[in-house]
Amino acid sequence: MTKKQRALEVIRRLKEEYPLAECTLDYDHAWQLLVEVRLAAQCTDARVNIVVQDLFAKYPGIEPLAEASVDEIEAIVRPCGLGRSKARDISACMRMLRDEFGGKVPDTMEELLRLPGVGRKSANLVLGDVFGKPAIVTDTHCIRLCNRIGLVDDLKDPKKVEMALWKIIPPEEGSDLCHRFVLHGRAVCDARKPNCAACCLKEVCRTGAKAAPAKVDG
């Protein structure tokens, strides 16, 4: 089975297992997703969803958040960890959106990467979820599962994994597949102890095949 064939089968099976593929961050506007994905670094999405309720209630738009001081932002986002650096990035990002992009989130990779605190993972998430463009979000779940399944070979660098996946995944499937990787990574393919016996991918997964009990003749 080629990597492309394996990828198509993985997509088919995960679609059956997780019909609803959505971002686990709660947002109503593109700028909110940018804030949340920055806060999600080394923090759970569940905690981010709670913390931003106060942040967005106090600063309900790009302009109010751009005018807030770093100290004010930090006081609210501190529970997400790395409060100071995240608050600085959020403040600088909102100011750039206000001053250089007319208060709108850009819809190209090149422009998104200009924003403070926005890397390829964040940019791809916005491109895929907000603008419906082809996107591959190489978060920890995606990287772990792709290596275990055999879609990539011992690649840990997010950009290298992304570039390798572009070669074997249909562009229109990338965004939803990465959301399903997150769901599957949490439910079955745990970082420490994957539950291969209960996995819908075990017949097409390199790691699952190794974990399968050997057949006994006779």
The type of residue at 61 is G
Catalytically active residues are: 121, 139
Q: Kindly write down the DSSP assignment for every residue of the chain, as one continuous string.
A: --HHHHHHHHHHHHHHH------SS--SSHHHHHHHHHHTTTS-HHHHHHHHHHHHHHS-SHHHHHHS-HHHHHHHHGGGS-HHHHHHHHHHHHHHHHHHSTTS---SHHHHTTSTT--HHHHHHHHHHTT--------HHHHHHHHHHTSSSS---HHHHHHHHHTTS-GGGHHHHHHHHHHHHHHTS-SSS--GGG-TTTTT-HHHHHHSPPP---
